Amino acid sequence: MAEPAGAVPLWSGRDIAEAVGGALTGGDFAVSGVAIDSREVQPGDLFVALSGARDGHDFIPDAFRRGAVASLTSREVDGPHVCVTGGILAALEALAASARERAAMARRAAVTGSVGKTSVTQAILAGLNLAGGGHGPVRSFNNHIGVPLTLARMPGQTRRAVFELGMNHAGEIAPLSRLVRPHVAVVTTVAAVHVEAFDDGEAGVARAKAEIFTGLERGGVAVLNAENRWFDVLNAQAEAAGAEVRAFGSAPGVAGRLIHFTPTPSGAFVEAEIDGRARRYPLRQSASHWGPMSLAALLTLRALDVDLEIALAALASFEPLTGRGAASQIRLPTGEATLIDDSYNASPVSVAAALRALGAKSPAGRRLVALTDMLELGPEGPAQHAKLADVADAADIDLMFCAGPLMRHAYEALPPSRRGAWTESVESLTPILIAALSPGDVILVKGSKASRAADIVAGLAKAFAPVLEGEES
């Protein structure tokens, strides 16, 4: 994005060259952003020519056409300004480390967890932005590229920042934590996600999540879920790293204690004690896991020296993220239905929470759910899917529609009265859903990203136009 007149540039060419050990061609320059995808370049950006499935150098002409000021490359290329260095990923990491060091006054938080890390990260970022001088990822940038990219985009004037750290295997979080060097480390929860990568299942996941304490600044804060079965493991690792542990849960004695979570038509109300002070605050999320997750966000914001009233105000206005529980009205031929898009990802814990949240709603019509396979569950996958039938039954879901070989286990475990349909693919399920929807229904769509639950959402949105905000119905 082009910077306004008088704004401080994000980077000068000389600063970039010094940070990455590169050489400038075309003279000094100033950039206002950093991009790694030429399709997302904004005028004023530095384009970093990373290589993935294709060589990023192939997209440099497109980046300059879209307004990039300069490019970070590993070889000489045509362009108005170029910084030539060695390995591009290593250069991005070096730029990230330089950004961290120059923002010397910024307090940093890092968030990981099997469920809720993106939403909690973005809720924390909402609080940081409301407090002023905040910085964080624009979306789920949580891997070996996304984390250094988010750091490289951090202005020197930043007061507080938050980063999301993800993993599929052991050893992935530790280097990210050492790069961020957080003052606050958050683990939302540990659950049976990515367990196929660990011989000992959840225990391995817990150890991998505990890698977040590797880079924690001495005397930092660890925000942990006291009700997670792996709390003692995480607590021991946090204390070994010299952290002050701030726990959240429903039992007495924790820093953030959940008293009541009450769903409402537009979200929920939370009654809690925060450092012994009773508070009641609204949320725009209705899933029950947002009770403890909101406390994780509040404890993190407080550890970053954000005033509690500012933190509560940010949570009250924080909207569900696209693909993570956002609700919209869609127009059917004879009325309207509600579509809940929770299609970004899925695990046994998050699907169960979403089903319970749907069960707490009182629609004019039926409670419907469309589920696609939950992936990376290893040998326990079929059993974990079958267990969802009991959750759906307890939540009084009217009909469950399923797509994928694993979700067949869930469908077959349902009582016949709750069976909508099962198909092998999302392409086959979508027209069945379109035909099944009636006015007043609420339909939840959820599944792992790779099992393409989002395609169901897109198919429903294409078939039924959204109701525009402010439009009379």
Contact 46, 16 (CB under 8 A): yes
- DSSP H helices in 347-419: 348-359, 381-394, 407-413
The total number of structural domains in the chain stands at: 3
Q: Is residue 472 part of a domain?
A: no
Total H helices, total E strands in the chain: 15, 22
CATH number of domain containing 359:
3.90.190.20
Strand order in the sheet with 23-25: 23-25, 82-84, 70-73, 45-48, 33-35
- Which residue is listed with tokens 């709750």? 418
What's phi and psi for 153, nearest 5 deg? -85, 0
**Domain edge (last residue) among 58, 88, 118:** 88
Residue 468, in any domain of the structure? no
Regarding whether 107 and 202 lie in a shared domain, the answer is yes
What is the predicted pLDDT for the residue at 33?
97
- CA 118 remoteness from chain centre: 2
Task: Say whether both 200 and 343 belong to one domain.
Answer: no
Is the domain of 258 the same as that of 141? Answer: yes
Q: What is the CATH number of the domain that holds 58?
A: 3.40.1390.10
Q: Say how far apart CA 37 and CA 49 lie, in whole Å.
A: 8
Query: How does DSSP classify residue 466?
Result: B
Judgement on whether residues 289 and 334 belong to the same structural domain of the protein: no
Angle at 283 between CA 393 and CA 260, to 5 degrees: 65
Please give the C-alpha separations between residue 459 and each of 23, 139, 325, 430, 434, in angstroms, as whole numbers: 49, 23, 17, 6, 8
| Cβ proximity of 409 and 305 under 8 Å | no
**pLDDT tens series, the chain, 473 aa:** 444 444 689 999 999 999 999 999 989 999 999 999 999 999 999 999 998 888 999 999 999 999 999 999 999 999 899 999 999 999 999 999 999 999 999 999 999 998 889 999 999 999 999 999 999 999 889 999 999 999 999 999 999 999 999 998 999 999 999 999 999 999 999 987 767 777 778 898 999 999 999 999 999 999 999 999 999 999 999 999 999 999 999 999 999 999 999 988 788 999 999 999 999 999 998 888 899 999 999 999 999 999 999 999 999 999 877 778 888 889 999 999 999 999 988 889 889 988 988 988 888 999 999 999 998 888 889 999 999 999 999 999 999 999 999 999 999 999 999 999 999 999 999 999 999 999 999 999 999 888 999 999 999 989 987 764 433 32
User: Which tokens in the block code for residue 71?
Assistant: 């490019």
Strands of 238-289, DSSP E: 244-249, 256-264, 267-274, 277-283
DSSP per position, 208-235:
HHGGGGGGPPTT-EEEEETTSTTHHHHH
Pair (189, 236) in one structural domain:
yes
Q: Identify the domain boundary among 317, 334, 350.
A: 317
CA nearest 183: which of 131, 142, 218, 147? 218
Q: Answer yes or no: do 119 and 268 share one domain.
A: yes
Listed residues 32, 53, 88: the one ending a domain: 88
CATH number of the domain that residue 236 is part of: 3.40.1190.10
Position of tokens 């930043």? 158
What pLDDT, on a 0 to 100 scale, did the predictor assign at position 7?
66
Strands 419-423 and 399-403: parallel
Which amino acid belongs to residue 346?
A
Tell me whether strands 11-12 and 30-31 are parallel, antiparallel or unpaired. Answer: antiparallel
- What is the rounded CA–CA span in Å between residue 205 and residue 200? 9
Asked if 298 and 308 touch (Cβ cutoff 8 Å), the reply is yes
Would you state the pLDDT for residue 194? 67
Helices (H), 12-78: 13-20, 60-65
pTM metric for this prediction: 0.82
Structure tokens at 355: 């089903």
**Residue-range definition of the domain harbouring residue 377:** 326-463
